[in-house]
Structure 1
Amino acid sequence: MYNRKQLLYLREQQLKEVEYQNQLLQKELEKQKSIETERERISHDMHDDLGAGISALKLQAEFLKQKAENDDLQHDIDELLKTSEEMNLSMREMLWSLNSGNDTLGSFIDYAIQYADNFLRKTKIKLWSESEDIVYDTPVSTEMRRNMFLCLKEALNNAYKHSQSDQLKLSFIQKNKEFIMKISDNGIGIKNENSEGNGLRNMKRRMQEQNGECQVLSEGSGTEIIFNILL
Protein backbone atom coordinates (compact mmCIF):
# COMPACT_ATOMS: atom_id res chain seq x y z
CA MET A 1 0.00 0.00 0.00
CA TYR A 2 2.88 2.33 0.78
CA ASN A 3 4.44 1.70 -2.65
CA ARG A 4 1.08 2.29 -4.35
CA LYS A 5 0.63 5.58 -2.52
CA GLN A 6 4.12 6.64 -3.49
CA LEU A 7 3.46 5.74 -7.14
CA LEU A 8 0.14 7.60 -7.07
CA TYR A 9 1.84 10.64 -5.55
CA LEU A 10 4.55 10.60 -8.24
CA ARG A 11 1.95 10.38 -10.99
CA GLU A 12 0.04 13.31 -9.51
CA GLN A 13 3.24 15.36 -9.41
CA GLN A 14 3.99 14.47 -13.02
CA LEU A 15 0.50 15.51 -14.09
CA LYS A 16 0.86 18.81 -12.24
CA GLU A 17 4.20 19.42 -13.97
CA VAL A 18 2.73 18.64 -17.39
CA GLU A 19 -0.22 20.94 -16.67
CA TYR A 20 2.16 23.70 -15.58
CA GLN A 21 4.25 23.32 -18.75
CA ASN A 22 1.07 23.44 -20.86
CA GLN A 23 0.03 26.65 -19.13
CA LEU A 24 3.46 28.20 -19.87
CA LEU A 25 3.20 27.12 -23.49
CA GLN A 26 -0.29 28.56 -23.80
CA LYS A 27 0.87 31.89 -22.36
CA GLU A 28 3.79 31.97 -24.79
CA LEU A 29 1.47 31.24 -27.73
CA GLU A 30 -0.89 34.00 -26.62
CA LYS A 31 2.07 36.38 -26.30
CA GLN A 32 3.28 35.54 -29.81
CA LYS A 33 -0.22 35.98 -31.19
CA SER A 34 -0.58 39.40 -29.57
CA ILE A 35 2.82 40.44 -30.98
CA GLU A 36 1.77 39.37 -34.48
CA THR A 37 -1.53 41.22 -34.12
CA GLU A 38 0.30 44.38 -33.06
CA ARG A 39 2.75 44.05 -35.94
CA GLU A 40 -0.12 43.77 -38.41
CA ARG A 41 -1.86 46.81 -36.87
CA ILE A 42 1.31 48.91 -37.16
CA SER A 43 1.80 47.68 -40.72
CA HIS A 44 -1.74 48.67 -41.74
CA ASP A 45 -1.48 52.07 -40.03
CA MET A 46 1.82 52.81 -41.76
CA HIS A 47 0.43 51.78 -45.13
CA ASP A 48 -2.77 53.80 -44.77
CA ASP A 49 -1.43 56.95 -43.09
CA LEU A 50 2.25 57.29 -43.94
CA GLY A 51 1.88 55.80 -47.41
CA ALA A 52 -0.96 58.11 -48.31
CA GLY A 53 0.98 61.12 -46.99
CA ILE A 54 4.07 60.30 -49.06
CA SER A 55 1.96 59.80 -52.18
CA ALA A 56 0.22 63.15 -51.65
CA LEU A 57 3.59 64.87 -51.12
CA LYS A 58 4.92 63.38 -54.35
CA LEU A 59 1.86 64.50 -56.34
CA GLN A 60 2.12 68.04 -54.99
CA ALA A 61 5.83 68.22 -55.85
CA GLU A 62 5.17 67.01 -59.41
CA PHE A 63 2.41 69.62 -59.78
CA LEU A 64 4.76 72.39 -58.57
CA LYS A 65 7.49 71.23 -60.95
CA GLN A 66 5.15 71.70 -63.92
CA LYS A 67 4.48 75.30 -62.83
CA ALA A 68 8.07 76.17 -61.91
CA GLU A 69 10.06 78.10 -64.50
CA ASN A 70 13.24 78.70 -62.52
CA ASP A 71 15.92 76.02 -63.08
CA ASP A 72 17.13 76.16 -59.48
CA LEU A 73 13.59 75.70 -58.23
CA GLN A 74 13.06 72.73 -60.53
CA HIS A 75 16.29 71.18 -59.22
CA ASP A 76 15.08 71.62 -55.63
CA ILE A 77 11.76 69.99 -56.51
CA ASP A 78 13.62 67.08 -58.14
CA GLU A 79 15.52 66.59 -54.88
CA LEU A 80 12.21 66.62 -53.01
CA LEU A 81 10.82 63.98 -55.38
CA LYS A 82 13.94 61.86 -54.90
CA THR A 83 13.60 62.09 -51.11
CA SER A 84 9.92 61.12 -51.23
CA GLU A 85 10.77 58.10 -53.40
CA GLU A 86 13.47 57.02 -50.92
CA MET A 87 10.98 57.39 -48.07
CA ASN A 88 8.48 55.28 -50.00
CA LEU A 89 11.06 52.51 -50.51
CA SER A 90 12.06 52.60 -46.82
CA MET A 91 8.41 52.33 -45.81
CA ARG A 92 7.91 49.30 -48.08
CA GLU A 93 10.93 47.61 -46.49
CA MET A 94 9.50 48.22 -43.00
CA LEU A 95 6.10 46.88 -44.04
CA TRP A 96 7.75 43.76 -45.44
CA SER A 97 9.73 43.31 -42.21
CA LEU A 98 6.64 43.71 -40.02
CA ASN A 99 4.42 41.31 -41.97
CA SER A 100 4.56 37.91 -40.22
CA GLY A 101 3.24 36.30 -43.39
CA ASN A 102 6.72 36.84 -44.85
CA ASP A 103 8.49 34.71 -42.22
CA THR A 104 9.50 32.01 -44.71
CA LEU A 105 12.69 31.37 -46.63
CA GLY A 106 10.89 31.66 -49.96
CA SER A 107 9.50 35.09 -49.11
CA PHE A 108 12.94 36.33 -48.10
CA ILE A 109 14.57 35.07 -51.31
CA ASP A 110 11.85 36.53 -53.56
CA TYR A 111 12.10 39.91 -51.85
CA ALA A 112 15.92 39.86 -51.88
CA ILE A 113 16.01 39.24 -55.66
CA GLN A 114 13.37 41.91 -56.25
CA TYR A 115 15.29 44.45 -54.16
CA ALA A 116 18.63 43.65 -55.84
CA ASP A 117 17.05 43.94 -59.28
CA ASN A 118 15.52 47.35 -58.47
CA PHE A 119 18.74 48.56 -56.83
CA LEU A 120 20.98 47.65 -59.77
CA ARG A 121 18.52 48.52 -62.54
CA LYS A 122 19.89 52.05 -63.03
CA THR A 123 23.53 50.95 -62.87
CA LYS A 124 25.85 49.23 -65.34
CA ILE A 125 25.90 46.09 -63.16
CA LYS A 126 23.97 43.12 -64.56
CA LEU A 127 22.32 40.84 -61.98
CA TRP A 128 22.23 37.05 -62.03
CA SER A 129 20.44 34.97 -59.42
CA GLU A 130 20.19 31.26 -58.64
CA SER A 131 18.61 29.05 -55.97
CA GLU A 132 19.70 25.54 -55.00
CA ASP A 133 17.66 22.99 -52.99
CA ILE A 134 15.50 25.70 -51.41
CA VAL A 135 12.43 24.57 -49.44
CA TYR A 136 10.40 27.74 -49.88
CA ASP A 137 8.01 27.25 -46.95
CA THR A 138 10.86 26.79 -44.42
CA PRO A 139 9.98 29.05 -41.45
CA VAL A 140 12.47 31.77 -40.44
CA SER A 141 12.35 34.29 -37.61
CA THR A 142 11.56 37.93 -38.28
CA GLU A 143 14.88 38.94 -36.71
CA MET A 144 16.89 36.59 -38.91
CA ARG A 145 15.03 37.72 -42.03
CA ARG A 146 15.65 41.38 -41.19
CA ASN A 147 19.37 40.93 -40.46
CA MET A 148 19.96 38.88 -43.61
CA PHE A 149 18.23 41.56 -45.66
CA LEU A 150 20.31 44.36 -44.10
CA CYS A 151 23.47 42.37 -44.87
CA LEU A 152 22.30 41.99 -48.47
CA LYS A 153 21.69 45.76 -48.73
CA GLU A 154 25.18 46.53 -47.38
CA ALA A 155 26.83 44.03 -49.74
CA LEU A 156 25.00 45.44 -52.78
CA ASN A 157 25.87 48.99 -51.78
CA ASN A 158 29.55 48.07 -51.39
CA ALA A 159 29.60 46.36 -54.80
CA TYR A 160 28.01 49.40 -56.43
CA LYS A 161 30.35 51.92 -54.79
CA HIS A 162 33.70 50.12 -54.76
CA SER A 163 33.83 47.01 -56.96
CA GLN A 164 33.89 48.63 -60.43
CA SER A 165 32.19 45.44 -61.63
CA ASP A 166 29.66 44.96 -64.42
CA GLN A 167 28.24 41.61 -63.22
CA LEU A 168 26.90 40.46 -59.86
CA LYS A 169 25.62 37.01 -58.92
CA LEU A 170 23.20 36.36 -56.07
CA SER A 171 23.10 32.71 -54.89
CA PHE A 172 20.84 31.03 -52.31
CA ILE A 173 21.60 27.51 -51.10
CA GLN A 174 19.87 25.34 -48.49
CA LYS A 175 21.60 22.32 -46.96
CA ASN A 176 19.21 20.70 -44.48
CA LYS A 177 19.15 23.26 -41.62
CA GLU A 178 21.88 25.49 -43.07
CA PHE A 179 21.11 28.48 -45.29
CA ILE A 180 23.82 30.11 -47.42
CA MET A 181 23.60 33.42 -49.27
CA LYS A 182 26.42 34.44 -51.63
CA ILE A 183 27.00 37.80 -53.33
CA SER A 184 29.73 37.59 -55.98
CA ASP A 185 31.04 40.26 -58.36
CA ASN A 186 33.71 40.42 -61.07
CA GLY A 187 35.24 43.70 -59.91
CA ILE A 188 38.66 44.81 -58.69
CA GLY A 189 38.47 43.00 -55.35
CA ILE A 190 39.12 44.39 -51.87
CA LYS A 191 42.49 45.77 -50.87
CA ASN A 192 43.89 44.57 -47.54
CA GLU A 193 43.82 47.98 -45.92
CA ASN A 194 40.11 48.36 -46.71
CA SER A 195 39.07 44.82 -45.90
CA GLU A 196 37.61 45.73 -42.50
CA GLY A 197 35.58 48.85 -43.22
CA ASN A 198 32.44 49.74 -41.29
CA GLY A 199 30.20 47.95 -43.80
CA LEU A 200 32.00 44.61 -43.49
CA ARG A 201 32.22 44.92 -39.71
CA ASN A 202 28.47 45.59 -39.53
CA MET A 203 27.70 42.53 -41.67
CA LYS A 204 29.90 40.29 -39.52
CA ARG A 205 28.35 41.68 -36.33
CA ARG A 206 24.81 41.07 -37.60
CA MET A 207 25.63 37.48 -38.52
CA GLN A 208 27.30 36.83 -35.14
CA GLU A 209 24.16 38.10 -33.39
CA GLN A 210 22.20 35.42 -35.28
CA ASN A 211 24.81 32.73 -34.52
CA GLY A 212 25.82 32.84 -38.17
CA GLU A 213 29.00 33.62 -40.08
CA CYS A 214 30.13 36.13 -42.71
CA GLN A 215 33.14 35.35 -44.91
CA VAL A 216 34.77 37.67 -47.44
CA LEU A 217 36.82 36.09 -50.24
CA SER A 218 38.75 38.43 -52.51
CA GLU A 219 41.64 36.77 -54.30
CA GLY A 220 42.62 38.22 -57.65
CA SER A 221 39.68 39.76 -59.45
CA GLY A 222 36.24 39.91 -57.91
CA THR A 223 34.84 39.59 -54.42
CA GLU A 224 32.56 36.95 -52.89
CA ILE A 225 30.73 37.53 -49.61
CA ILE A 226 29.25 34.37 -48.03
CA PHE A 227 26.63 34.38 -45.29
CA ASN A 228 25.96 31.11 -43.41
CA ILE A 229 23.18 30.74 -40.85
CA LEU A 230 21.31 27.89 -39.17
CA LEU A 231 17.58 27.83 -39.82
Structure 2
Amino acid sequence: MGAPCGSTARRRQAQREAALRTQIAADLHDDVGTLLSQISLQSSLLQEGVADADGQRRQLGQISEASRSAVRQLNDVVWSLDAHNDTLPQLLDRLRDYAYEVLAPSGLHIKFEVPETLPTTHLSLALRRNLYLIYKETLHNVLKHAAGASWLRVRLSLESSPSRLLLEINNEVVPVLAAHPTAVPYQRRSGHGLRNITQRAVAVGGTAECGPQADGSFRVRVQFPL
Protein backbone atom coordinates (compact mmCIF):
# COMPACT_ATOMS: atom_id res chain seq x y z
CA MET A 1 0.00 0.00 0.00
CA GLY A 2 2.93 2.35 0.70
CA ALA A 3 4.21 2.50 -2.88
CA PRO A 4 0.92 3.61 -4.50
CA CYS A 5 0.46 6.33 -1.86
CA GLY A 6 3.98 7.58 -2.46
CA SER A 7 3.43 7.50 -6.20
CA THR A 8 0.21 9.51 -5.84
CA ALA A 9 1.92 12.13 -3.67
CA ARG A 10 4.75 12.50 -6.19
CA ARG A 11 2.26 12.80 -9.03
CA ARG A 12 0.32 15.52 -7.22
CA GLN A 13 3.54 17.39 -6.44
CA ALA A 14 4.54 17.19 -10.10
CA GLN A 15 1.12 18.52 -11.12
CA ARG A 16 1.41 21.44 -8.68
CA GLU A 17 4.85 22.34 -9.98
CA ALA A 18 3.67 22.09 -13.59
CA ALA A 19 0.77 24.45 -12.80
CA LEU A 20 3.18 26.86 -11.10
CA ARG A 21 5.52 26.82 -14.09
CA THR A 22 2.54 27.63 -16.33
CA GLN A 23 1.66 30.56 -14.06
CA ILE A 24 5.26 31.79 -14.12
CA ALA A 25 5.23 31.68 -17.92
CA ALA A 26 1.97 33.67 -18.02
CA ASP A 27 3.34 36.26 -15.57
CA LEU A 28 6.52 36.55 -17.63
CA HIS A 29 4.50 37.09 -20.80
CA ASP A 30 2.44 39.85 -19.17
CA ASP A 31 5.22 41.66 -17.30
CA VAL A 32 8.04 41.47 -19.82
CA GLY A 33 5.61 41.93 -22.71
CA THR A 34 4.48 45.23 -21.18
CA LEU A 35 8.07 46.40 -20.76
CA LEU A 36 8.97 45.46 -24.33
CA SER A 37 5.92 47.38 -25.57
CA GLN A 38 7.13 50.44 -23.66
CA ILE A 39 10.59 50.10 -25.20
CA SER A 40 9.08 49.79 -28.68
CA LEU A 41 6.86 52.85 -28.19
CA GLN A 42 9.65 55.05 -26.84
CA SER A 43 11.99 53.91 -29.62
CA SER A 44 9.40 54.85 -32.24
CA LEU A 45 8.96 58.29 -30.69
CA LEU A 46 12.72 58.81 -30.76
CA GLN A 47 12.88 57.85 -34.42
CA GLU A 48 10.19 60.40 -35.25
CA GLY A 49 12.35 63.11 -33.66
CA VAL A 50 9.37 65.06 -32.30
CA ALA A 51 10.79 65.71 -28.82
CA ASP A 52 13.45 68.31 -28.06
CA ALA A 53 16.83 67.38 -26.56
CA ASP A 54 15.49 67.18 -22.99
CA GLY A 55 12.56 65.07 -24.11
CA GLN A 56 14.84 62.70 -25.98
CA ARG A 57 17.00 62.27 -22.88
CA ARG A 58 13.91 61.40 -20.86
CA GLN A 59 12.83 58.88 -23.48
CA LEU A 60 16.28 57.28 -23.51
CA GLY A 61 16.16 57.08 -19.71
CA GLN A 62 12.78 55.35 -19.86
CA ILE A 63 14.07 52.89 -22.45
CA SER A 64 17.12 52.16 -20.30
CA GLU A 65 15.05 51.59 -17.15
CA ALA A 66 12.52 49.37 -18.95
CA SER A 67 15.38 47.33 -20.43
CA ARG A 68 16.98 46.80 -17.01
CA SER A 69 13.63 45.79 -15.52
CA ALA A 70 13.03 43.27 -18.32
CA VAL A 71 16.49 41.74 -17.83
CA ARG A 72 15.93 41.48 -14.05
CA GLN A 73 12.60 39.74 -14.53
CA LEU A 74 14.05 37.30 -17.04
CA ASN A 75 16.93 36.52 -14.67
CA ASP A 76 14.45 35.97 -11.82
CA VAL A 77 12.46 33.46 -13.86
CA VAL A 78 15.55 31.56 -14.99
CA TRP A 79 16.78 31.42 -11.39
CA SER A 80 13.46 30.22 -9.98
CA LEU A 81 13.10 27.43 -12.55
CA ASP A 82 16.67 26.14 -12.25
CA ALA A 83 16.63 23.02 -10.05
CA HIS A 84 20.23 23.73 -8.99
CA ASN A 85 18.93 26.70 -6.98
CA ASP A 86 16.66 24.71 -4.66
CA THR A 87 18.82 24.88 -1.50
CA LEU A 88 19.17 27.47 1.27
CA PRO A 89 22.74 28.52 0.35
CA GLN A 90 21.63 29.18 -3.24
CA LEU A 91 18.64 31.16 -1.98
CA LEU A 92 20.86 33.27 0.27
CA ASP A 93 23.20 34.03 -2.64
CA ARG A 94 20.24 35.25 -4.67
CA LEU A 95 18.92 37.43 -1.83
CA ARG A 96 22.34 39.04 -1.42
CA ASP A 97 22.81 39.64 -5.15
CA TYR A 98 19.41 41.29 -5.51
CA ALA A 99 19.83 43.48 -2.42
CA TYR A 100 23.19 44.85 -3.55
CA GLU A 101 21.87 45.39 -7.07
CA VAL A 102 18.82 47.47 -6.13
CA LEU A 103 19.82 49.07 -2.81
CA ALA A 104 23.45 50.05 -3.31
CA PRO A 105 22.63 52.95 -5.71
CA SER A 106 20.32 54.43 -3.04
CA GLY A 107 23.12 54.60 -0.46
CA LEU A 108 21.47 52.06 1.86
CA HIS A 109 23.88 49.81 3.75
CA ILE A 110 22.90 46.14 3.90
CA LYS A 111 23.55 43.79 6.81
CA PHE A 112 22.86 40.05 6.56
CA GLU A 113 22.52 37.93 9.70
CA VAL A 114 22.64 34.22 8.90
CA PRO A 115 23.95 31.05 10.55
CA GLU A 116 27.62 30.31 9.85
CA THR A 117 26.59 27.08 8.15
CA LEU A 118 23.34 26.61 6.27
CA PRO A 119 22.12 23.06 5.61
CA THR A 120 21.45 22.11 2.00
CA THR A 121 17.75 21.79 2.77
CA HIS A 122 15.62 21.28 -0.34
CA LEU A 123 13.18 24.11 -1.04
CA SER A 124 10.20 23.52 -3.30
CA LEU A 125 9.73 25.69 -6.36
CA ALA A 126 6.62 27.29 -4.81
CA LEU A 127 8.37 28.11 -1.52
CA ARG A 128 11.48 29.46 -3.22
CA ARG A 129 9.49 31.65 -5.61
CA ASN A 130 7.08 33.06 -3.02
CA LEU A 131 9.82 33.80 -0.51
CA TYR A 132 11.86 35.59 -3.16
CA LEU A 133 8.86 37.66 -4.31
CA ILE A 134 8.11 38.61 -0.68
CA TYR A 135 11.73 39.72 -0.37
CA LYS A 136 11.52 41.84 -3.53
CA GLU A 137 8.23 43.41 -2.41
CA THR A 138 9.76 44.29 0.95
CA LEU A 139 12.82 45.94 -0.58
CA HIS A 140 10.53 47.87 -2.91
CA ASN A 141 8.56 49.16 0.10
CA VAL A 142 11.73 50.22 1.89
CA LEU A 143 13.06 52.09 -1.15
CA LYS A 144 9.75 53.78 -1.89
CA HIS A 145 8.52 54.77 1.56
CA ALA A 146 11.36 54.73 4.13
CA ALA A 147 13.18 57.94 3.27
CA GLY A 148 15.00 58.07 6.62
CA ALA A 149 16.54 54.61 6.36
CA SER A 150 20.31 54.17 6.48
CA TRP A 151 20.60 50.42 7.10
CA LEU A 152 18.65 47.38 5.97
CA ARG A 153 18.94 44.24 8.09
CA VAL A 154 18.14 40.82 6.63
CA ARG A 155 18.01 37.87 9.02
CA LEU A 156 17.62 34.30 7.81
CA SER A 157 17.33 31.54 10.41
CA LEU A 158 16.10 27.99 10.93
CA GLU A 159 14.08 26.46 13.74
CA SER A 160 14.00 22.73 14.34
CA SER A 161 10.86 22.17 16.42
CA PRO A 162 8.82 22.46 14.33
CA SER A 163 11.09 22.63 11.31
CA ARG A 164 10.65 26.03 9.71
CA LEU A 165 12.47 28.81 7.90
CA LEU A 166 12.30 32.40 9.15
CA LEU A 167 13.08 35.53 7.16
CA GLU A 168 13.05 38.93 8.84
CA ILE A 169 13.75 42.22 7.08
CA ASN A 170 13.73 45.65 8.64
CA ASN A 171 15.24 49.04 7.94
CA GLU A 172 17.05 50.78 10.78
CA VAL A 173 15.93 54.39 10.65
CA VAL A 174 16.64 55.86 14.10
CA PRO A 175 20.29 56.95 13.56
CA VAL A 176 19.34 58.98 10.49
CA LEU A 177 16.38 60.64 12.21
CA ALA A 178 18.60 61.60 15.12
CA ALA A 179 21.17 63.18 12.83
CA HIS A 180 18.59 64.73 10.49
CA PRO A 181 15.37 65.71 12.33
CA THR A 182 13.68 66.60 9.03
CA ALA A 183 14.10 63.07 7.62
CA VAL A 184 10.79 61.36 6.87
CA PRO A 185 10.10 57.97 8.50
CA TYR A 186 8.18 55.19 6.83
CA GLN A 187 4.88 56.45 5.44
CA ARG A 188 2.32 53.87 4.45
CA ARG A 189 0.80 54.72 1.07
CA SER A 190 -1.12 51.59 0.13
CA GLY A 191 -1.98 48.21 1.60
CA HIS A 192 -1.62 46.28 -1.67
CA GLY A 193 2.04 45.37 -1.13
CA LEU A 194 1.43 44.21 2.43
CA ARG A 195 -1.54 42.10 1.35
CA ASN A 196 0.60 40.53 -1.38
CA ILE A 197 3.23 39.59 1.19
CA THR A 198 0.66 37.93 3.45
CA GLN A 199 -1.04 36.11 0.59
CA ARG A 200 2.25 34.75 -0.75
CA ALA A 201 3.23 33.45 2.69
CA VAL A 202 -0.15 31.78 3.23
CA ALA A 203 0.00 30.20 -0.25
CA VAL A 204 2.89 27.97 0.89
CA GLY A 205 1.60 27.31 4.41
CA GLY A 206 3.46 30.17 6.08
CA THR A 207 2.60 33.29 8.05
CA ALA A 208 3.62 36.93 7.75
CA GLU A 209 3.81 39.94 10.05
CA CYS A 210 4.53 43.19 8.26
CA GLY A 211 4.10 46.92 8.55
CA PRO A 212 5.50 50.14 9.98
CA GLN A 213 6.95 50.10 13.49
CA ALA A 214 6.67 52.62 16.33
CA ASP A 215 10.19 53.95 15.70
CA GLY A 216 9.37 54.80 12.07
CA SER A 217 11.01 51.72 10.58
CA PHE A 218 9.38 49.04 8.43
CA ARG A 219 9.57 45.33 9.23
CA VAL A 220 8.55 42.10 7.56
CA ARG A 221 8.78 38.75 9.36
CA VAL A 222 7.72 35.60 7.54
CA GLN A 223 8.02 31.95 8.45
CA PHE A 224 7.54 28.84 6.35
CA PRO A 225 7.28 25.16 7.28
CA LEU A 226 10.04 22.93 5.90
Instruction: Tell whether the structures are fold-level matches, with TM greater than 0.5.
Output: yes
Which structure features the higher share of helix residues?
Answer: 1
Alignment of 1:45-194 (within 5 A): 70-132=53-115, 135-164=118-147, 165-176=149-160, 177-187=163-173, 194=188
1:176-200 superposed Cα distances (whole Å, 9 cap, x missing partner)? 2211111111236656xx4971111
Is the contact between residue 153 and residue 172 of structure 2 (CA under 8 Å) also seen in structure 1? no
| Distance (whole Å) between structure 1 residues aligned to residue 200 and residue 6 of structure 2 | 34
Q: Which residue of 1 aligns with 2:196?
A: 202
| Distance (whole Å) between structure 2 residues aligned to residue 228 and residue 76 of structure 1 | 42
Alignment partner of 2:118: what SS?
A: coil
1:20-68 superposed Cα distances (whole Å, 9 cap, x missing partner)? 557657x739x949x78xx7xx99xx9xxx9xxx9xx9xxx8xx99xxx
Q: Looking at CA atoms only, which structure, 1 or 2, has the larger radius of gyration?
A: 1
| Distance (whole Å) between structure 2 residues aligned to residue 19 and residue 125 of structure 1 | 53
Q: Which runs of 5+ in 1 are unaligned?
A: 1-16
Structure 1 residues 72 and 140: CA distance shift in structure 2, 3 A = same
Confirm or deny that 1:227 pairs with 2:222.
yes
| Distance (whole Å) between structure 2 residues aligned to residue 143 and residue 23 of structure 1 | 20
- Aligned identity (percent) is 21
Q: Which runs of 5+ in 2 are unaligned?
A: 174-183
Q: Report how far residue 227 of structure 1 moved.
A: 0.9
Alignment partner of 2:78: what SS?
A: helix
Q: Report how far residue 110 of structure 1 moved.
A: 1.0
Q: Give the residue type in structure 1 aligned to 2:159.
A: K
Q: Give the residue type in structure 1 aligned to 2:191.
A: G
Alignment partner of 1:121: what SS?
A: helix
| Distance (whole Å) between structure 2 residues aligned to residue 184 and residue 148 of structure 1 | 15
Structure 1 residues 127 and 19: CA distance shift in structure 2, 3 A = closer
| Distance (whole Å) between structure 1 residues aligned to residue 116 and residue 98 of structure 2 | 22
Aligned length: 190
Q: Report how far residue 161 of structure 1 moved.
A: 1.2
Q: Which residue of 2 aligns with 1:10?
A: none
| Distance (whole Å) between structure 2 residues aligned to residue 173 and residue 107 of structure 1 | 14
Q: Report how far residue 162 of structure 1 moved.
A: 1.1
Alignment partner of 2:215: what SS?
A: coil
Alignment partner of 2:106: what SS?
A: coil
TM-score by length of 1: 0.68
